[in-house]
């Protein structure tokens, strides 16, 4: 995975997704434009324009498979955040006044050096990187998102896990005054998620603080959320206030709500269907045709070895 230093992070309006670029190119001229094959986030050589001045250089941002990032508009207006609402298009409006300043994250449990971090200190003390990841929701929609953040592993190393720590348990803020969905009796609040220690220490596992070079907005889990790109999106818990290292496998909100539907591992697997729908394909937001879902969401090379010898159907 290519890492990008903060100085390279470009604001969203300097980016253009390939889809937007093709639209723009089509509008400019017919026949004289060409597209370069893109890998990662690269600047496209500007094509010559018939009899005119060359257009400005445009950075097309793609994931490592060459698929374009979703627009910021897509990413901030189509969300899952049950603390606010179960409507994907209603989260942005309902969460717009959510207070994300003076936020602390308490890191403790089976560690030698428990600490409470101010999010501003996390931003300053841990080098922020850009990671362009696919996000595959268990509901079979997906996006490509350019996150900023830092590996969870660097935070965990700082608190010095004890040998007895086997899992990491994460908790979202509990504040029904601000989060109306938390009054719903259907779920056990606060939202809880968990990872096995080796999953948590994996370099792909990110604590995200921004998208497209801007601070996270409330609908995406501001001020800090987890991103585990090879697992279904529900593992990527938002607005974290507490991280505990524990010995027992944590029970997540979704495991408690429907254990036959949502397991602890939740690795993206096209061969294991949800009891109510197929997981073989997905709808990439912004595309018309469905695309095939990839094992481990396309990150098998990086993470399959974490599960050697495990039955992925049993451990769904
Ligand atoms: N975290 C909390 N606290 N509450 C939620 O409802 N939804 C999850 C995950 N994290 C959720 C959450 C689900 S189902 C998905 S698909 C992703 O957030 C969606 O992230 P996004 O809205 O930033 O795309």
Say if ligand 1 is within 6 A of residue 25 CB. no
Task: Give the pLDDT confidence of 34-88 residue by residue, as tens digits.
Answer: 222 223 344 444 444 455 565 555 668 999 999 999 999 999 999 999 999 999 9
Q: Which of 238, 256, 283, 297 to mutate to test the pocket of ligand 1 (most atoms within 8 A of CB)?
A: 238
The two tokens of residue 199 are 């999953």
Residue 145: both structure tokens together: 């998102």
Upstream peptide bond of 223 is cis (omega within 30 degrees of 0)? yes
- Enumerate domains of the chain plus CATH numbers: 6-307 (3.90.420.10)
pLDDT for the residue 60? 82
pLDDT of amino acid 41:
42
Rounded to 10 degrees, the C-alpha dihedral 113/117/122/125 comes to -50
Distance 79 CA to ligand 1 centre (A): 7
pLDDT the model gives residue 44: 43
Q: Pick the residue whose CA is nearest to atom 10 on ligand 1.
A: 237
Which residues of the chain fall short of a pLDDT of 70?
A: 1-59
pLDDT over 70, % of the chain:
81
Specify the pTM: 0.86
> What local confidence, expressed as pLDDT, does residue 191 receive?
98
* Sign of the C-alpha dihedral computed for residues 25, 26, 31 and 35 taken in this order: positive
């Amino acid at each position: 995975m290519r890492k990008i230093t903060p100085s390279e992070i470009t604001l969203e309006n300097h980016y253009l997704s390939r889809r937007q670029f093709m639209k723009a190119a089509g509008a400019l001229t017919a026949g004289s434009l060409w597209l370069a094959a893109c890998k990662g986030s690269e600047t496209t050589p500007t094509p010559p324009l018939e009899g005119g001045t060359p257009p400005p250089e445009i950075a097309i941002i793609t994931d490592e498979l060459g698929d374009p990032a979703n627009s910021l508009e897509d990413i901030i207006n189509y969300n899952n955040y049950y603390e606010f609402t179960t409507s994907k298009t209603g989260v942005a409006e309902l969460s717009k006044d959510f207070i994300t300043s003076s936020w602390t994250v308490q890191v403790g449990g089976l560690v030698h050096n428990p600490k409470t971090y101010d999010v501003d200190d996390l931003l300053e003390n841990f080098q922020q990187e850009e990671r362009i990841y696919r996000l595959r929701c268990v509901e079979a929609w997906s996006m490509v998102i350019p996150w900023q953040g830092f590996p969870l592993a660097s935070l965990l190393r700082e608190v010095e896990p004890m040998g007895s720590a086997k899992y990491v348990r994460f908790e979202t803020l509990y504040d029904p005054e601000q989060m109306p969905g938390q009054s719903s009796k259907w779920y056990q609040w606060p939202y809880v998620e968990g990872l096995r220690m080796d999953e948590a220490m994996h370099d792909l596992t990110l604590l995200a603080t921004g998208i497209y070079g801007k601070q996270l907005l409330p609908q995406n889990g501001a001020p800090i959320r987890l991103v585990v790109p090879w697992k279904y999106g529900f593992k990527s818990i938002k607005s974290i206030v507490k991280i505990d290292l524990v010995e027992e496998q944590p029970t997540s909100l979704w495991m408690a709500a429907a254990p036959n539907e949502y397991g602890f591992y939740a690795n993206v697997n096209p061969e294991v269907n949800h009891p109510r729908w197929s997981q073989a394909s997905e709808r990439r937001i912004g595309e018309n045709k469905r695309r095939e879902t990839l094992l481990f969401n396309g990150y098998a090379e990086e993470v399959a070895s974490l599960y050697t010898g495990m039955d992925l159907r049993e451990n769904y």
